[in-house]
């Protein structure tokens, strides 16, 4: 995919799959809602989850955002790899943070009817991708 296609795709898709290495050395993969701000992928995760503790301990994640179905030529997606950085208080209770204004606005618009809600159970992980790989098998027709 082109950079513009990746941008549009990441803004539109509802679910990503976050991969971390668990403390026992095995991979752990879980679905999660996310937002893309044009430079970073923002993961809003339960802070008492295995995903959160493994991501914070490891300090890095791999994330796949994809779509498709039974038709091979409909498969397309993006894989992003990079450091996972905690941003804001843990768990998030609404303490003012300029760097969270945009991801919380985007998240509220995408999932919560326009308003982000603080539930004191989730926290933010920012992933600034160091590697991006994309695929769009529909382009094989061309």
pLDDT digits (tens, 9 = 90+) for 3-44: 999 999 999 999 999 999 998 999 999 999 999 999 999 999
Q: ω before 91 within 30° of 0 (cis)?
A: yes
| CATH class for the domain made up of 3-141 | mainly beta
How confident is the model at residue 114, as a pLDDT?
A: 94
pLDDT, tens digit, 9 for 90 and up, residues 34-87: 999 999 999 999 999 999 999 999 999 999 999 988 888 899 999 999 999 999
The single residue listed with the structure tokens 């509802």 is: 14
* Tokens representing residue 28 in the block: 């752990």
For residues 61 and 55, the answer to whether their CB atoms sit within 8 Å is yes
pTM of the entire predicted model: 0.95
Provide mean pLDDT across the span 109-122.
96
Domain ranges of the chain: 3-141
* Tokens representing residue 86 in the block: 């905690």
Nearest to 137 by CA among 66, 81, 63: 66
């Amino acid at each position: 995919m082109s950079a513009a296609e990746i941008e549009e795709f990441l803004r539109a898709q509802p679910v990503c799959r976050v991969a971390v290495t668990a403390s026992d050395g095995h991979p752990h993969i879980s679905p999660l809602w996310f937002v893309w701000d044009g430079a970073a992928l923002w993961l809003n995760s339960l802070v008492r989850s295995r995903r959160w503790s493994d991501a914070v301990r490891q300090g890095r994640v791999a994330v796949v955002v994809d779509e498709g179905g039974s038709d091979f030529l409909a498969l397309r997606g993006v894989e992003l790899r990079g450091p996972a950085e905690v941003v804001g208080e843990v768990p998030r209770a609404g303490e003012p943070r300029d760097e969270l204004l945009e991801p919380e606005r985007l998240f509220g618009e995408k999932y919560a009817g326009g308003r982000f809600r603080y539930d004191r159970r989730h926290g933010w992980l920012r992933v600034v991708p160091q590697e991006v790989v994309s695929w769009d098998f529909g382009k094989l027709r061309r």
